[in-house]
Chain A
Amino acid sequence: MSNYTPQRVLDCQGDACPLPLLKTKKAMAEMASGEILEVVGTDPGSKNDLPSWANRTGNVYLGEEEEGNVFHFFLQKK
């Protein structure tokens, strides 16, 4: 059970750099301030890339959850 209640879920499974970043940017652009996006992915690089992305774009990286090889990243729109 997740600690966060996302308003939107983005499937990036199978995608490698830079696709998760590009898809996250696009999804976040369509969201309202304060809403939470869940990015579901399989790229371990995203564990460092998405926090960097959030830091640079001013959005908030809330955290991640792992289920085997699948990662769930939670980001809040600024």
Chain B
Amino acid sequence: MNNRNAALVTPAEGSVLSPEVETFISEQVRLQVAAELKRLGLDLARPKRAALIASKGTLDMAYPPLILATAAAAMDMEAAIFFTFYGLDIVKKKKLSNLKVPPLANPAMPVPMPNIIGMLPGMTRMATWMMKDWMKKGGVPSIPDLLDFAKENGVRLIVCQMSMDVLGIKKEELIDGLEFSGAAAYLDYAADADITLFV
């Protein structure tokens, strides 16, 4: 190690800097490093963030974003769900307790159901009843309960304004506590997210 580096690493004996000056310098360095990291978008102290998209209006696809968002909030993360297209049914007053799971073209039904039977009247109702029954027996909260938990725990529920306009849905048809915005708002939020998922 040459003399110059040695001087940087080990303070010279009989240092010319007073303790006050040393404290001042280290504080200034700390602030400057923090400011530079922040400028680079590296705020290490900020909470983790999950930005989820809910794009499906079936019962089975309503669960994942709601469970993940509420679990994220329980883990002190920031979380938002962006509801788009058919996902809007999850926050529709008349639909949210009445989401369905279609047996048609769904090879994962517990009793494998040929499509020709899945298309018969009443089959969607039966599959939906079955799924709600497992969820209840399994101790999984219902969709309305999960929406309440999400709101209680600060999950932001953001509705795609364009989907509302295209599908002709009015704000009065939706539950309270929603935000309304577009793709840029989601992307702005998601750009600083650690987790993004499209469901």
Report which A residues bind B (CB closer than 8 A).
14-19, 21-22, 24-25, 42-43, 52-53, 56-57
Find the residue from A14, A16, A22, A25 having the highest chain B CB count within 10 A.
A22
A66 to B75, CA, bound (A): 24
A24 to B73, CA, bound (A): 12
Report yes or no: B75 in contact with A56, Cβ–Cβ below 8 A: yes
Find the residue from B73, B139, B149, B153 having the highest chain A CB count within 10 A.
B139
Report yes or no: B67 in contact with A18, Cβ–Cβ below 8 A: yes
Report yes or no: B149 in contact with A56, Cβ–Cβ below 8 A: no
Distance between B198 CB and nearest chain A CB, rounded to angstroms: 20
8 nearest A-B residue pairs (beta carbon): A21-B74, A16-B139, A18-B71, A56-B75, A25-B74, A16-B140, A14-B139, A15-B139
Query: Closest A-chain residue to B146, C-beta based?
Result: A18
15 extra interface residue pairs, beta carbon distance < 8 Å, beyond A18-B141, A22-B73, A43-B139: A15-B139, A16-B139, A18-B71, A18-B149, A19-B140, A19-B141, A21-B70, A21-B75, A22-B74, A22-B149, A24-B74, A25-B76, A56-B48, A57-B75, A57-B76
Please, which residues of chain B bring their CB within 8 A of the CB of A24? 74
B28-75 with Cβ < 8 A to chain A: 48, 67, 70-71, 73-75
B112 at the interface (CB under 8 A from A): no
Please, which residues of chain A bring their CB within 8 A of the CB of B70? 18, 21-22
B123 at the interface (CB under 8 A from A): no
Please, which residues of chain B bring their CB within 8 A of the CB of A15? 139
Please, which residues of chain A bring their CB within 8 A of the CB of B76? 25, 56-57
Please, which residues of chain A bring their CB within 8 A of the CB of B73? 22
Checking B67, B77, B153 against A56 with a beta-carbon cut-off of 8 angstroms, the contacting residue is B77
Report yes or no: B139 in contact with A19, Cβ–Cβ below 8 A: yes
B122 at the interface (CB under 8 A from A): no
Bitwise, B71-110 to A at CB < 8 A (1) or not (0) is: 1011111000000000000000000000000000000000
Q: Can you show 8 pairs from A to B with CB atoms below 8 A apart?
A: A14-B139, A21-B74, A21-B75, A22-B149, A53-B75, A56-B48, A56-B76, A57-B75
Please, which residues of chain B bring their CB within 8 A of the CB of A53? 74-75
Please, which residues of chain B bring their CB within 8 A of the CB of A21? 70-71, 74-75
Checking A14, A17, A43 against B71 with a beta-carbon cut-off of 8 angstroms, the contacting residue is A17
B138 at the interface (CB under 8 A from A): yes
